[in-house]
Each structure stands twice: as structure tokens, then as C-alpha cells.
Structure 1
Amino acid sequence: MSSPAQQETPAKGGSSPKGTPLPQQSPVKGGSPAVPGSPAHSPKKSPPRSPPSGKANTAQPFVLQNSDDEDYYTKPDFIYGGPFIAVNKPSPFLDTGTPINLPLQGTFKKSFAYYSLKERIPVILTKIIDYLSREASNIKSANGASDEDLRNFMQSVVKLKNDLVTNKDYDPFTVDTENAKKWNMWIDDQENKKYFNNTWMFSECYLYRKLREGCELTKGLQNFDYFEAQKKSAFDNNVELMCIVADKMVTMVNKSEKDKRKADFITLLKICLWANKCDLSLSLGSQVNLIQAAKDATEKLRQSPPPPPPPTKGKGKEPAQQAPLVISHDPFQMILDLKDKLLVDDSAKIADQVVTKSEAMMKAINAVCATSCGREEKTEKEGKEGKEGKEGKEEAPKQIPCPAKMTVPQAVMFDIVCDNTGYELFADLCLAHFLVAQKIVQKVRFHVKDMPWFISDVTEKDFRYVIDACTNSNFSSEASSGATEGDTGEAKIIKADNLRTLGQQWNQYLTDGVFQVMAEEFWTYPHVYRDMKKYDPNLYRKLQYAVAIMFKGDLNYRKLLGDRNWNPTTGFEASLQGFIPAPIIAVRTVKAELISGLPKGKWDQLTAADEKWMQSGDYGVIQFCAKGEALKVSDRPCMDYCKTCFGVTCPEHTDI
């Protein structure tokens, strides 16, 4: 079956460099090219299309009409055959990449958005269909599902794939939930309702949400995660890396002097960055094994070694050394090996400013506590005096401020908006553990998805699986690197002893509330983050309690930047478009064609060497915006609003 883009005739004009106006597009106010299909977009008229036979009186076959002309078959030209004059309807598809300052969408045929909708996502859906077919018996047994449940879900996936590749309109949701009603309202609000013609963000999020609805409409697959087996395999494939990091973590969590603490903070940020390579949606669900990937890269490097370095100029200087032709899978060595692939590195700034802000926040919390504790002591004293002769006194419940009135949080909190499970989540947990152990923060909140999402994104179930798998790991194997120990030359054995210790501590942190897992609906909405205040103001306020928020991975980065093709040199803060609930940290390997904050000329240099460098995940950024919107008394009720509002203090409320 041909794709919609193959059926369409692209507008004249080839590809152009990033930022160059396309000749067939009309300018709009501000100098940016108009979005295809919008009123401002008025392509040049093309001459009438000649009939295929070359005869003026021959009716034009309907196959030459545009596929999105749904009324064609009811028109006289089709019913009576012709003759007629062909009218060339302008195609929404352009044979170019995404122009500067426009949202990413599937109408630009040389963009990663078009490639994803046309090639990548259909493969992902096909693999789900294949999995349902191969593992039908196990799936039914594990979920208590019937043959009909599985058949209905499989049919929904098949339909979803067919609708995508033929560029149909979005189907409304039929499951009777508040979430589905919201989606239907958002679909109605879209100017373009076809997969390729609308923004890539909306279409991609709609696909994963619609995929979930297929399970919601069955009786036995309500809790079925069609990506679970892939996520568990991804964990197992990278346990050795986790053991290597765990062995070093033992030295990092002990109380450190200032310089070592900063160095360890930076190291763990970079571990988190390169762990983001483990993205199953980029690999179309194929397993990402960083150990095997390193071996493959080493072999490729040895087969095609780089040219030797130029001789060192000047007398007495030794010649430059050839870099070793080995790509290491050791996470700490990767930081050194991939130094030149880190395009923006704000890690030192992050380490300094998070610590500074945490100390200031702790002082503010202590000041509030001292004031409130004084009031509580006075109240308790008055209560005792008024109840003389009564033995003892019941301890008064802790007074929790109303979230809507609170302007100082209850604790110094660091937030992580998670991306992938497995090794990447493990790396995030290590950073969180370090921040708590070094008393930089008191609490870490992990924001995860409320449904299976983009194959390997973390859900609450995945979060607990990773911690339990670490706690119970029995991994023991010779080092894949071939490393040896001592003078004996015996192979080094990698064991999971310290990995189990970390898992046990993380379980305790969960029990004590030091680690908190939050699965807000907004993370699976199709909205970019500048619109969070509009669609979920309560979540925005919750994020304001954080000393900093670390957004992991490519999807989060796209939503931070409004999924817009910024000029690469635009500053990171400007590209956030006012989304600053708290200081923002973005940690991302580059897997989509948008980026900001690059040094002048860097984008051109990388693109000249490899046009598809932004799709590979080989490059990364660690970016920081230090600004944050101050907490103010809200004019809205609190996020956990009850039937009765208790005012300034709330006995019904728990710790935020």
C-alpha cells in the first residue's frame, strides 16, 4: 500500500538549507513561511494536468485525483466520465525539511517527522500485532483475557496502522472516560485532523493513546502492557553496566567535601545523559544493548581507522598520540570517550546552582517551621492550662498548609520527569540517591507515565520492577571488556552485590517517602509544556515546589521547545517560551530534528558531515535555565480540593 505522501504530488521546488525560504511558499507576517494548508499558504498556480493518453477529450482517471478529495466520487466528472478540464489541487506535502520556526509535522517529506509517521511507527504497530499473534496463549493466561479480547485488540491495532499509512482523519475515542472526552474535544479543536497534516506531536501522542484505548475496550486486557516484555529484556541486557555504576556509587554516597561532591554530581548527570541512548522507540522496539553496541563500534573503527593526527609543530615536542581504536561500554569511560559529542554542557553550572538554591530553600523552610512551631507550642500550652487535672494530652496532628496558600514548600525537593525504564531509570535513581545522601535535597519526586507510552517510557509498574530487579539481582559474569584483576591476570568478575544494596536502599526510600512516584495524566497529553498552565495548572503549581526539575530524553525536550524547529543558536531559555515553574535541566541525546542553544556554526558543521546526525542519538546536551517562577498564593482551590475547604491549614492534606 502506498503512503499518502506517495499518492500526493509535492509542490515544486527542491529542498533548501535550514532557514532558507521556499520559493513556492508565500511569506507571512514576521518573515516565517506559512504552514501548508493554512490561509496564508497560497502556492503558485500550476498549469492544467494533461490527460494520460494525450487526447484532450479523454476523461481523466480518478486515480490521478488527490486522495484527500473525499467528494470526488459524487461529482459529475466521475459519474458521467467527462470530458473535463483537470484542476490541479495543491498538495499539502512539500519536498523539503521543516522550515525554521515551524512546528514539526509530516507534510515536510525530508523531515524526521515524515519519516517517523511513514516508516517508524507502522513498524512499531506491526511488531505489536506480531507479538499478540505469537504470544496469544501466554497473554491470555497472564491477564485472564478471552480469545475475543485478544482478537478485538489486535483488530484495533490493525485499523490504527491502516488509518495512519493512508492518512485518514483521527477517529474519536469511544471508551467512556473523562480522559477520552478530553481527547475528543482536542481532536475537534484541530484545524487539520489527518495524521500527516497535523503537528507530529499531536499525531504521535494520539497514536499511543489510541493504542491504549484498544485495551480499555476489552474486559480482560485492562492492565495489559504490550511493551512490558521488551522493557524487561532491555533491563536484563544492561545489568552489567548497572553493576559497574553501583560499585562506584558506594564511594559517591558517603559524605564528601565540596569539590568531590561537585565532581560526582557532574559525573552522574553525564551517566544519566548517555543512558538515554537506551530508547526502544528510536530502535523501533529492537533491544538496545550498550555492551554489544560498543563492541560493534570498536570493530567498525578498526576496519576503517581515522587518519593519524598531524605532527606536532615545534622543537622537542613529542608527536601526537593516536587515540586507541576501542569504544568502551564502561559508563564512566563513555563520559570521556563521548566528550566531543556533548554539544552543550551546563553540568558544572547545574551542580553549583542546585546546591546554592537548595541551601536557600532550606533556610526559608526552617524559618517558616520556627514560626509555626512557636504557634503550636503556644496553642499546646494554652490547651494544657485549660484542661488541668486531665492526664496527658493527645498529640495534635501535624498542621499542613493549604497548597493553594503555600509559598514555601514543605521540603527541599528535586523533580525528575522520567523517560525510559531499564538502565536509564537506574541512572536517574543513582542521581536521586546521591542528592539525598549528600543532603543536597530531602526528597526526590519521579514523574512517570500513567499508561504504556513510546514503548520504553517509565510507568509506575516499571519503576517498581527496576528497583525490585536490582534488589534481587544475582548477576555474576566475567567483564565483557576482558578486564583482569591483580597480578594473576584472571578475568575480572562483575557481581551484583552493590546493585542489591542500592535496590534495598531505594525500597526504603520509597517506604519512607523520600522517593515519591507521581503519574499525572498531563504527561500523556498531546500538549507542549508552555501550555501546561492552561491544561493542568495544578501540576504546574506542584512543579513550582521543586528546587529544580530534570527533564529526561527526546520527547520531553520536544515538549519543552514546543516541538518547533528553532534556529539552533536560539538560547535555551528563549526556546522554553515562558515555561519556568522552577529551574529547568534538560538531559537528552539528540533523536529528533530540533535543538536550541548551540554555538554559532556548530549546526552547519555537523550537518555538513552528516545530514542525519540529529536522528542517531549519538550526540547529547545538558542544558540549564536557572530562572523559576516564584510561588504565590493561588486564586484557585488546591489540587486535592475536598468538599470542605479548611483554609490556611488543612488536616485532610498530606505532605506535598
Structure 2
Amino acid sequence: METDQIKTPQSLSAKFEGSFAYLTVRDRLPTILTKVIDTIHRNKKNFFEEHGEEGVDAEKRTISFLSKLRNELQTDKPVLCLADEAEDTAAWNEYMKRQQELMEDGQPVSWFKSPWLYVECYMYRKIQEALWLNPPINDFDVFKEGKTQSFFESQQAIISLCTHLREFLTSVDNPDENQLYDQFLKYVQVSLWGNKCDLSISAGQDNSQKTSPIESLSTLQRFILVDDSDKVWSALTALWASGGTEKRGARVDIILDNAGFELVTDLVLADFMVSVGLAKEVRFHGKLFPWFVSDVTKKDFDWTLSQIVASNHRQMSACGVQWKRFMKEGMWSYHDHQFWTLPHEFCDMAADAADLYSTLQGSDLILFKGDLNYRKLTGDRDWEHTVPFARALRGFNPAPLCSIRTLKANVQVGLQPGQGERLTSQEPDWMTNGKYAVIQFFCPRREQ
């Protein structure tokens, strides 16, 4: 029977493996909090040099706040309302009231008994509350060190990818549609596998990309469980046909996930689409504040472009110069919205963030990157694997959309009958080890 049971931390026991140590989902959050506390403490000297004793006092108060939070998490204490005065505070507290109404027997909303998606998002919002309540260190990004390290440790892969893109764009005159399709598939798959570099899953441990991404694609192809790349291509090229004598490029919205190497893969894909005329405009959507360890903020986005421009590698720098030009001329733009850092499932967007939903309705194609976006698209529920992707979206259909995601959480829909069972018998942790991936497309105009 198809189910859509909401998952709670108690129902999850999957372990994550790869280049990092095993971590259960319940262990991961205290581990991340511990790293955050350590990062703040290690920057005590910097706080003093910049703010004097006021900075040191703020460091102490923030660590005390986060240590208390870690204890509450580990001992299943009730989830408390936010006490800061940020623009999203009321929305968070209203959402907690909704969760309380869903609790059986009047039990308080607590860490172990609430939906896993909610409490995980709540922890990252509380980290931000700890900083916002304690100026003058309230603008400190506790995850910046890890994001920066991940970027620099992926330099060779970034150089390889930028070189591949620039050589194609400058050496192939008037590529035909087959050539463009072949390159498009490569850049979509590079963007897909770039999603493996997720610091929230590895609890901040090194998970950078060190090998040539293009060269590894053929060996990774068999791990893509659902590949709707051809449907994405068709959605883009259909606009060419509708443009008459002049090909009309699409407006593409990319809902970003991780900074570092993954962001570069997204920029390369966007560059390709604009440069060959598949897209006339690309709108990048990121987070308002540091989120899930490695998610992209405006500062991360701008910093990455500046680093690419400043590279002493000719092709990498050339990409950066082009990307800066795209931003200046409006073909690229960066946007953020508080909805991306709320706990809501995306089916709530039309009601709870009508302005954002309306904006996305103007898109020709929305690309959702990564695991958290997939969890929010599907409500992070215990769906049967054969449930259609369209059904799991539960009415979220602003425009044609595609989820590009490596599997690192216990939710996956849209598989063939028996496919999930075979994978479970072969690899019990197939949904969480980052080895498998999907490119899943939904077009409301075609399926409704």
C-alpha cells in the first residue's frame, strides 16, 4: 500500500557512509552543534581583536546558548518558540503551533517526536538565533571555514570543468543540436554529482571533489536511478521551436544547494545554457543566512565569482569574467527569500509565500538542487518507492521542474516496481550513502 507517513527522528536509523565516518541522523545534529561551538570558540581571538571585550562576552553567551540547545536536543526536551525579532520569527513560531496541533494526546512538540524535516531545519534556525541575539558577532558565518576549504580543495576539478566548458564554447563553430544535447547531458550530470559534496551530511568533514568530473561520468551513469534529462532538454528546446525564425531561450530558475564545488557545477551549467541560447535568463535562488552547513548564501555566491575571476588559471579566470558579465548585464541574477529557510514543505508555498510562488510561475524551467530540496518537494514522507513524483509533490506545480539530487535521505519516489526492493537487498543503505542519484522531471502542463 502506498503510504505518506511523516517521518520523525525516532523512525530514522539510517547511517551515512562514504569518505566520512558513519553518523546516524540523530547523532549528526549534536555533532554539527559541537563543531559550531568549537568554531565560535576558536574565533575568540578574532572576536576580541575586532570587537574587544564585547566580542568575547558575546562569544561566551553564544556558546552557552548553543550548549543548552545541544542538551535539549539530546534529551528530547520540548521545542521552544524563537525569541529573536527577525522577519521570519513569527512564521517559525506559527509553524510550531501547527505542529503542536498535530501532536497526539497533547504532548509537547519535542526533538524526538516531531517531523524530522522540521526539527532539522529548526536546529539551523536556532544556531542563527544564537548569533542574532548576541551582537557584535551576529554576522559571523559559523560554516564559512568549511565552505572555503571545500572550494579550495576542489581546485583541480574546478579547473578541469572550466577548461572543458571554455574549450567547447570557443572551439566548436555552430554546433548542431546533437552536439549541444551531448554537452548538455554532461553538464547536467556534473551538476548532479557535484551534489555529493554536502557538508551537512558529512557533519562538516572533508567531502570535496578532487577528480576530473567529466572523466568520471561514464562510470557513474549506472547509478542514476531515474534519468529524465531528455525531458528537461525537450522542455528547453520546445521554446526554440516556438520562437519562429529566432530561437527563444528559456528563463531558468536554479534553486541552489551547496557552496563550493557544487555551486561551480551549477554556474557551468548555467553558462552553457545561456551561451548556446538554451536560456535567455538564469535566476539563482539561495539562502538568506548560513543554512545546513554548506548551503549557498549571497556572500558565498559573490565570493565564489570573485575567486574564479582571480584565479591564475587562464580558463578558470575566463569563466569568472564571463559570469561577472552575465550578472552585470542581467542575464544572471541572484535572489533569496525567507521561505527557503523555513521548515515548510514546498506544497505550502502557494499559501505561505504567495509572492515567491508567483515569481516561480514565470519560469520556463525550475531546477531544484540537492537532498533538502527533494525532501521539501516530497514532504519528507515515507512514500512507497513507486509513488509517482507528481503525486508526491502534492499540488506544487508552479512551472516545469526538475529535481537533481544524489540520495542522502530516506525518501525516494518515482521508481519502477521492484527497483527499490532490489536495491535494498543489495545495499541496505542505498538511499543514504550518496552513491545513487536521480534527475526527476515534472511538467504540470503535460501531466494534468
* Superposition TM-score, scaled by structure 1 size: 0.63
Aligned to 1:611: 428
Deviations 1:408-446 (A, max 9, x none): xxx841000000011100000011111111111211000
Instruction: Tell me the residue number matched to 1:101.
Output: 4
Could you tell me which runs of 5 or more consecutive residues in structure 2 were left unpaired when the two chains were aligned: 17-22, 104-108
CA drift of 1:348 comes to 1.9
For residues 50-449 of structure 1, the aligned pairs below 5 Å read 100-108=3-11, 110=13, 116-141=24-49, 146-191=55-100, 192=103, 193-254=109-170, 255-291=174-210, 329-357=211-239, 359-360=241-242, 362=243, 412-449=250-287
Pick which of 180-189 and 501-510 moved more.
180-189
Residue 325 of structure 2 is aligned with which of 495, 503, 508?
A: 508
CA shift at 1:129, angstroms? 1.1
Cα root mean square deviation, aligned:
2.3
2:419: which partner in 1?
A: 602
Quote the Cα distance in structure 2 between the aligned partners of 1:259 and 1:366: 16
Tell me the SS of whatever aligns to 1:420: coil
Paired residues of 1:252 and 1:434 also in contact (CA < 8 A): no
- Matched residue, 2:20: none
Task: Measure the CA separation in 2 of the matches of 1:266 and 1:412.
Answer: 17
Pick one of 386, 391, 404 that aligns with 1:574: 391
2:14–2:429 CA contact under 8 A, matched in 1: no
Correspondence for 1:587 among 401, 404, 421: 404
Where does residue 106 of structure 2 map in the other structure? none
Looking at CA atoms only, which structure, 1 or 2, has the larger radius of gyration?
1
Alpha-carbon distance, 1:251 to partner: 3.4
Higher mean C-alpha deviation, range 329-338 or range 231-240 = 329-338
Counterparts of 2:347 and 2:395 in 1: how far apart (Å)? 7
How far apart, CA to CA, are the structure 2 residues paired with 1:353 and 1:109?
Answer: 37
Deviation, 1:622, is 0.7
Residue 609 to residue 209, structure 1, CA distance change in 2 (3 Å):
same
Separation (CA, whole Å) in 2 of partners of 1:150 and 1:578: 44
What is the one-letter code of the residue matched to 1:457?
D
Superimposed CA distance per residue, residues 310-330 of structure 1 (whole angstroms, 9 cap, x where no aligned partner):
xxxxxxxxxxxxxxxxxxx22
- What is the identity percentage for the equivalent residue pairs of Structure 1 and Structure 2? 33
Distance in 1, matches of 2:262 and 2:315, equals: 18
Structure 1 contact 280–286 (Cα < 8 Å) conserved: yes
CA distance in 2, matches of 1:451, 1:557: 20
**Cα deviation, residue 567, structure 1:** 0.9
Given that 2:30 and 2:74 are in contact with CA atoms closer than 8 Å, whether structure 1 keeps it comes out as yes
Instruction: Confirm or deny: 8 A CA contact 2:10 2:112 kept in the other structure.
Output: yes
Q: Distance in 1 between matches of 2:394 and 2:352?
A: 16
**TM-score under structure 2 length normalisation:** 0.91
Partner of 1:544: 361
2:349 to 514, 532, 535: 532
Greater helix proportion: 2
Q: In the alignment, what sits opposite 1:303?
A: none
C-alpha distance in 2, partners of 1:458/1:628? 31
Instruction: Name the count of aligned residue pairs.
Output: 430
Contact 1:583–1:627 (Cα < 8 Å) also in 2: yes
Q: Distance in 1 between matches of 2:87 and 2:260?
A: 31
- Give the Cα–Cα distance (whole angstroms) in 2 for the partners of residues 215 and 161 of structure 1: 15
Q: Is residue 2:292 matched to residue 1:454? A: yes
